[in-house]
């Protein structure tokens, strides 16, 4: 039985992603929505989702659900954090222009809930399964949601060994209370800023350009992504091989892969081809 969201937060075991999305919501523009659409098109290799059933597991702000809806899909979104659900609903209110888009609170770890949802042509879960507290259980459950021949697009934090262990400790401090949060932000925001500033200067690049360019990758905001990274708990990681093997055993074929050499996410698009 999953521990209720509020109790996890109180115990310092869960970051309030939804609160972070509330801040990010104000920054969403047509350009960011367009970049989110572009990221789906590129990885899923399709420009049109007309008639497809798209499931967004851990929808966060709802940006990618909105993008899928604009590409013609019937969209269903859910998230475990009530504030994420609220954000997605606000986004729908602001940018909705007709179509079929349902949003609700739910957890990918809740087997009974998951089995009530049916199966979808495209299941999208970017940066979510490693934040559930039981990544393997979440991966097992997500399999039930993908139709035969359907696509599964997931992104999972890369396993960086000791470095990942160190980051889990930092995230624990961040979530320990207000002091922990200010302590971590006051150290790491300047660290992130100066590290990239000097790296760009050494490469003769404009050090401020990256802040402008950041939104072109998936339509995100660097500021809110830094907070998400510093706080993002629960936190698990996996190597690309482990994810590949897990889904291969369950009858999936890898269609597209984007890996990282650092602490970011590896992205996978699988097709359920059957065993």
Ligand X SMILES: C[S@@+](CC[C@H](N)C(=O)[O-])C[C@H]1O[C@@H](n2cnc3c(N)ncnc32)[C@H](O)[C@@H]1O
Q: Residues in the site for ligand X, rule: CB under 6 A?
A: 17, 57-61, 64, 79-81, 84, 107-109, 126-128, 131-132, 228
Of 60, 75, 72, 56, whose CA–CA distance to 28 is shortest? Answer: 60
| CB of 193 vs ligand X, minimal distance in Å | 21
Among residues 27 and 251, whose Cβ is nearest to ligand X?
A: 27
Minimum CB separation from ligand X for residue 80, in Å? 4
Alpha-carbon distance of 132 to 152, in angstroms, equals 18
Report the C-alpha gap between 127 and 95 in whole angstroms. Answer: 23
Tokens of 33: 């929505």
- Cβ-closest residue to ligand X? 60
List residues bridging with 258 in a β-sheet.
267
107 or 175: CB nearest ligand X: 107
> The dihedral of CA 115, 118, 119, 123: what is its sign?
negative
What is the distance between the alpha carbons of residues 239 and 241, in angstroms, rounded to a whole number? 5
- Cβ 214 to ligand X shortest distance, Å: 14
- Cβ distance to ligand X smaller for residue 33 or 59: 59
The residue (of 60 and 240) whose beta carbon lies closer to ligand X is: 60
Considering the complex, state which of residue 184 and residue 227 has its C-beta at the smaller distance from ligand X.
Answer: 227
DSSP annotation of 4 reads P
- Measured at the CA of 250, the angle between CA 248 and CA 253, to 5 degrees, comes to 40
CB-side neighbour CA atoms (13 Å) of 115: 3
Nearest approach in angstroms of CB 136 to ligand X is 13
Q: For residue 109, what are its two tokens?
A: 């770890």
**Nearest distance, CB of residue 10 and ligand X, angstroms:** 16
Q: Which is nearer to ligand X, 127 or 150 (CB)?
A: 127
CB of 199 to ligand X, least distance (A): 25
- Residues 6 or more apart whose CB falls under 8 angstroms from that of 243 comprise 139, 154, 156, 266, 268
């Amino acid at each position: 039985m999953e521990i209720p969201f509020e109790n996890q937060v109180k115990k310092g075991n869960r970051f309030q992603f939804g609160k972070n999305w509330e801040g990010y919501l104000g920054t969403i523009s047509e350009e960011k929505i367009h970049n989110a659409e572009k990221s789906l098109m590129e990885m899923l290799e399709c420009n049109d989702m007309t008639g497809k059933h798209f499931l967004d597991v851990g929808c966060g702000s709802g940006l990618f659900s909105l993008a899928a809806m604009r590409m013609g899909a019937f969209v269903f979104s859910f998230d475990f954090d009530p504030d994420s659900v609220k954000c997605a609903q606000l986004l729908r209110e602001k940018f909705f222009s007709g179509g079929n888009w349902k949003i609700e609170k739910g957890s990918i770890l809740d087997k009974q809930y998951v089995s009530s949802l049916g199966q979808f042509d495209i299941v999208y879960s970017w940066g979510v399964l490693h934040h559930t507290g039981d990544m393997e259980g979440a991966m097992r459950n997500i399999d039930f949601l993908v139709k035969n021949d359907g696509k599964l697009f997931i992104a999972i934090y890369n396993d960086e060994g000791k470095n990942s262990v160190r980051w889990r400790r930092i995230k624990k401090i961040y979530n320990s209370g207000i002091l922990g949060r200010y302590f971590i932000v006051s150290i790491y925001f300047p660290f992130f800023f100066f590290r990239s500033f000097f790296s760009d200067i050494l490469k003769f690049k404009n050090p401020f350009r990256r802040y402008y360019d950041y939104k072109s990758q998936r339509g995100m905001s660097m500021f809110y992504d830094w907070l998400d990274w510093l706080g993002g708990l629960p936190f698990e990681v996996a190597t690309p091989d482990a994810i590949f093997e897990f889904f291969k055993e369950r009858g999936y074929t890898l269609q597209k892969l984007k890996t990282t050499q650092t602490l970011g996410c590896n992205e996978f698009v699988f097709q359920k081809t059957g065993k």
